[in-house]
């Protein structure tokens, strides 16, 4: 008995499955299952039926052909309008397309709206009310702000697609604000050509774009393109990499319990420590202080926060360009989360993209004091990492935390955007401090100050 080869059987099964899916999709469209039906508004009521029956009765009673004809026309018109209205959503597709889903602050994106009417019945009218973020203006168009909302608005378009017609319109979106932005859902309103029935539904699907913070080049920051902060003054330029064990040695009290090589200790019957390979690779951890006031709960200065975020993103881009491992830490939170932003230093190709996405999502509310977050996260920082603190304000508590980290051997760089630089501490420290005057003709002129 002949049997079809396995590949032919698989191909036949795929074709059967594809036909079945098309059939099910067609049935869903006929039933309106592809849309969330919001309401069925209509100018047609029981009064129309009562009028038709009344005209029919009077026409037959009076043997008046005119009245009978009017009643027939009324019934036919109602039937045609009802069938037309029921088929309006069948084969109707609405789609949004962006030329890019990621952009930097100040750039523009191209948005294409497409309507496809894949049936032989035309749509006499079609109105689409789409949800657009109010923060990103559409060139030459108006976004109507919804009542009680400051973040979303309504973008209205009117269409008249004919049978099997595809219509497209292109708009320019100005990325005027940083963040994550969602487009949709939309509401579709249509009906028959006689205006007797209206139908309103919500097609599925939303689109999201990410606007990264503005980036400054090293020249704009007035920092050296290579080794922006100069030679580190810390005495521990050579630090050990705990991931590279090259041997063992006698345990010393300064080693701590984490350095004990337990297998070698059990074999030799006395404490032995791991000997790590020294590493000279510079790595950076950027800490962003989201607070723009002396007390994080006092409020926020949006312009100053955006400047601090842009400086942090620019530094991450500079370090990434130099192929130096870079990470991000912040006392802010992501939407829907209550944990601080934390990304340990890495040098993968996706690291900078991850940092930019995290900075794009930073909310204007701090999760807690910067000094508390720094001291809590310090034990997790790889030893030898240069901690670059970007802060709009520098209070006494933050300076005290930086001094504590400096005394513990951490390499600290402070970049402050405060109106005035921090006062000198009068102590001998290894902390490098740079003051960036804020909001002055959009120019950044850092001045190194002594702490």
Q: Tens-digit pLDDT profile for the chain (451 aa)?
A: 434 445 667 667 777 776 766 666 665 555 555 565 555 555 555 555 565 566 666 766 777 777 677 666 666 677 777 787 778 888 899 999 999 999 999 999 999 999 999 999 899 899 999 999 999 999 999 999 876 666 889 999 999 999 999 999 999 999 999 999 999 899 999 987 777 778 888 888 899 999 999 998 877 777 665 666 655 444 444 456 565 666 777 877 767 777 788 888 888 888 888 776 555 567 899 999 998 887 766 777 888 899 999 999 999 999 998 888 999 999 887 877 777 789 999 888 899 999 999 999 998 888 888 899 999 988 888 877 899 999 988 888 888 999 999 888 888 999 988 777 776 665 677 888 888 765 444 545 555 665 6
Only one residue has tokens 């009017």, namely 70
Asked whether 355 and 210 are in contact (CB, 8 A), the reply is no
On whether both 196 and 248 belong to a single domain, the answer is: no
Asked whether 99 and 109 are in contact (CB, 8 A), the reply is yes
What pLDDT sits at residue 254?
67
Listing DSSP states for 125-178 in one string gives -EEEEEEEETTSPBTT---EEPTT-SSEEEEEEEE---TTEEEEEEEEEE--S-
Quick check: is 247 in a domain?
Answer: yes
On whether both 58 and 193 belong to a single domain, the answer is: yes
On whether both 44 and 193 belong to a single domain, the answer is: yes
- Number of neighbours of residue 260 by Cβ within 10 angstroms: 16
Quick check: is 151 in a domain?
Answer: yes
Q: What is the CA radius of gyration of the chain?
A: 34
Quick check: is 229 in a domain?
Answer: no
Asked whether 192 and 84 are in contact (CB, 8 A), the reply is yes
What pLDDT sits at residue 235?
41
Among 345, 339, 295, 343, which residue's Cα sits nearest to residue 320? 345
Quick check: is 170 in a domain?
Answer: yes
On whether both 355 and 263 belong to a single domain, the answer is: no
Domain end residue (candidates: 279, 298, 327): 279
Separation CA 113–CA 98 (nearest Å): 9
Separation CA 415–CA 420 (nearest Å): 12
Domain end residue (candidates: 225, 247, 279): 279
Domain end residue (candidates: 175, 196, 212): 212
Quick check: is 200 in a domain?
Answer: yes
Quick check: is 10 in a domain?
Answer: no
On whether both 195 and 295 belong to a single domain, the answer is: no
Quick check: is 225 in a domain?
Answer: no
On whether both 81 and 143 belong to a single domain, the answer is: yes
- The token pair at 297 is 């709960």
On whether both 320 and 244 belong to a single domain, the answer is: no
On whether both 269 and 289 belong to a single domain, the answer is: no
- For residue 384, give Cα distances in angstroms to 90, 162, 283, 291: 64, 68, 8, 27
CATH of the domain at 31: 2.60.40.10
Backbone φ and ψ of 265, nearest 5°: -60, -45
On whether both 361 and 401 belong to a single domain, the answer is: yes
Separation CA 437–CA 420 (nearest Å): 8
CATH of the domain at 428: 3.40.50.410
Separation CA 387–CA 381 (nearest Å): 9
Asked whether 100 and 109 are in contact (CB, 8 A), the reply is yes
On whether both 249 and 157 belong to a single domain, the answer is: no
On whether both 62 and 199 belong to a single domain, the answer is: yes
Quick check: is 8 in a domain?
Answer: no
Domain extent at residue 253: 239-279
- Total number of domains constituting the chain: 3
On whether both 192 and 272 belong to a single domain, the answer is: no
What pLDDT sits at residue 418?
76
pTM for this predicted structure: 0.74
């Amino acid at each position: 008995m002949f049997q079809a080869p396995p590949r032919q059987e698989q191909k036949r099964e795929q074709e059967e499955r594809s036909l079945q899916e098309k059939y099910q999709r067609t049935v869903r469209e006929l039933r309106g299952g592809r849309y969330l039906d919001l309401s069925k508004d209509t100018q047609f009521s029981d009064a129309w039926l009562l009028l038709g029956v009344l005209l029919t009765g009077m026409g037959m009673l009076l043997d008046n052909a005119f009245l009978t004809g009017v009643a027939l026309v009324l019934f036919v018109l109602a039937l045609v309008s009802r069938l037309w209205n029921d088929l309006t959503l069948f084969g109707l597709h609405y789609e949004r397309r962006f030329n890019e889903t990621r952009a930097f602050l100040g750039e523009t994106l191209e948005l294409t709206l497409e309507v496809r009417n894949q049936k032989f019945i035309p749509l006499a009218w079609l109105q689409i009310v789409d949800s657009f973020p109010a923060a990103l203006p559409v060139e030459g168009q108006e976004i109507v702000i919804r009542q009680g909302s400051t973040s979303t608005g309504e973008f209205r378009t009117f269409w008249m697609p004919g049978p099997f017609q595809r219509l497209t319109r292109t708009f320019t979106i100005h990325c005027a604000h940083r963040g994550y932005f969602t487009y949709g859902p939309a509401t579709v309103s249509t009906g028959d050509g006689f205006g007797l029935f209206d139908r309103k539904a919500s097609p599925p699907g939303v689109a999201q774009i990410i606007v990264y913070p503005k980036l400054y080049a090293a020249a704009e920051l007035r920092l050296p393109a290579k080794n922006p902060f100069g030679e580190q003054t810390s005495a521990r330029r050579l630090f050990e990499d705990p991931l590279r064990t090259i041997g063992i040695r006698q345990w010393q009290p300064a080693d701590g319990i984490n350095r004990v090589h337990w297998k070698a200790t059990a074999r030799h019957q006395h404490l032995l420590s791991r000997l790590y390979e020294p590493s000279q690779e510079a790595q950076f951890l950027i800490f962003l202080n989201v607070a723009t006031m002396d007390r994080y709960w006092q409020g926020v200065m949006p312009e100053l926060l955006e400047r601090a975020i842009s400086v942090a993103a620019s530094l991450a881009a500079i370090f990434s360009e130099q192929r130096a491992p870079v990470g991000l830490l912040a006392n802010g939170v992501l939407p829907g989360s209550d944990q601080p932003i934390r990304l340990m230093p890495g040098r993968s190709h996706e690291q900078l993209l991850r940092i930019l996405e995290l900075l794009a999502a930073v909310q204007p509310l701090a999760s807690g004091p910067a000094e508390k977050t720094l001291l809590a996260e310090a034990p997790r920082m790889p030893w030898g990492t240069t901690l670059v603190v970007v802060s709009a304000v520098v209070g006494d508590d933050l300076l005290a935390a930086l001094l504590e980290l400096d005394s513990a051997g951490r390499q600290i760089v402070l970049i402050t955007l405060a109106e005035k630089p921090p006062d000198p501490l009068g102590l001998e420290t290894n902390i490098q401090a740079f003051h960036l005057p804020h909001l002055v003709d959009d120019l950044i002129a850092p001045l190194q100050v002594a702490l």
